[in-house]
Amino acid sequence: MSQVGGLPAWVDPELATLTADRFSDADWVFERKLDGERCLAFADAAGVRLLTRNQKDVTTTFPEITAAIAAQRHGDLLVDGEIVAFDGTQTRFERLQHRLGVLRPSAEVLRDVPVRYVVFDVLHADGRDVRDLPLLERKEVLARCLDLQDPLRSPEARQGDGEAFFAQACRDGWEGLVAKRADAPYRSGRSRDWLKFKCLGEQEFVIGGWTDPQRSRVGFGALLLGYVDTTGALVYAGKVGTGFDTATLRELSATLAGLEQESSPFGAGRPPPRQGVHWAAPKLVAQIGFAEWTDDGQLRQPRFLGLRDDKDPTEVGREMPS
């Protein structure tokens, strides 16, 4: 692994596996699932670097987080967490969208859309790689490394009582929980040591086209959505026409115009509509909330939440509980 100072240049984050199981177990820690952007924070003598899951540098996008970590750093440090924007007690990806892609936010933007960095794990501390330590021991290391006060935070968590905590999470309108095995090391990639309990249907989809606007609507009518199957084909999953304000309709319409192509990018499953449709190169990824999947593989009551620039379209598959 290449190094930058005493830290690795990059570590693939650990990812949770979606499951339909709900359980309580003293050997598991249950944490609030957050609706934001995954971020690794690297802090060493060279300074602080914030990198998203696809290694995009967002150090200047979130200067309040960069400064908070820099002010506390004692030796080399690498932590894992989620950057979120709160709306009351809820984390809202739609709200965070106003900060994404802004390289140097103005004082007004920083004031109007404050963000928090919810730090839930530590990978390196004081020149030591701690990924092989059990989760609970890493939590102790993390507590010694950082004082998690705004804009840094620790996740709401509970050990053992996953079922009651999940019921509370759904009542309170959270996205769900992430269950983590208390004695497991930190493993890059998707793992069953981390499991997702979802209250609400939500995942990323690739935008493969759009429909013409109707009546007084501007920009477009709906986005055509898909996901990549195991063969690499883009499978049509339905269309979404809600969740947009006028500014988003105009901006996204202009972006899509630059991606328009003559042929459909969808290659499997139920065919998308053909009338009043424009096809787009599958380059954009959207975060979509929805009620459920229908029996024929379509989204029920989808709602646009925002664009994601931290996900590769080729890696956007259908999330299925196991």
Inter-residue contact 286 to 207 (CB < 8 Å): yes
Tokens of 79: 């932590």
Classify residue 208 as exposed, middle or buried by CB count within 10 Å of its CB (0-12, 13-18, 19+).
buried
- Report in angstroms the alpha-carbon separations of 110 from 38, 91, 103: 19, 17, 12
Residue 91's identity, in one-letter code, is T
Inter-residue contact 187 to 291 (CB < 8 Å): no
Residue whose tokens read 């379509």: 298
First and final C-alpha spacing in the chain: 32
What does the alpha-carbon distance between residue 204 and residue 227 come to, in Å, rounded to a whole number?
Answer: 8
Active-site residue flag, 180: no
Q: Give the residue numbers annotated as catalytic, written as ranges.
A: 33
